[in-house]
C-alpha cells in the first residue's frame, strides 16, 4: 500500500450482472495538485519563434 499523501483510493463496485468494476476516486488528488496560472503557448506561435 502507498504511504504517499498524494494517493487516491481504489475500490470495487458491483455491477448489475454481478461482476466487479474497478473505480478510482481522484477528487482528493485533484484538490492537492497545483494548477497552472498561465495559458499554454499556441503551437503555431512556437513554430514561428523557431
What's residue 16's pLDDT? 94
Supply 15's cell numbers: 455491477
- In contact, 6 and 29? CB cutoff 8 Å: yes
- In contact, 29 and 7? CB cutoff 8 Å: yes
Q: Is the whole model's pTM more than 0.75, yes or no?
A: no
What's residue 1's pLDDT? 67
Domain layout of the chain by residue ranges: 1-33
Over residues 7-45, the pLDDT tens digits come to 888 899 999 999 999 999 998 888 888 887 888 889 999
Amino acid at each position: 500500500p502507498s504511504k504517499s499523501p498524494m494517493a487516491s483510493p481504489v475500490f470495487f463496485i458491483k455491477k448489475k450482472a454481478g461482476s466487479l468494476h474497478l473505480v478510482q476516486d481522484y477528487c482528493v488528488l485533484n484538490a492537492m495538485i497545483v494548477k497552472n496560472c498561465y495559458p499554454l503557448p499556441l503551437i503555431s506561435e512556437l513554430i514561428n519563434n523557431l
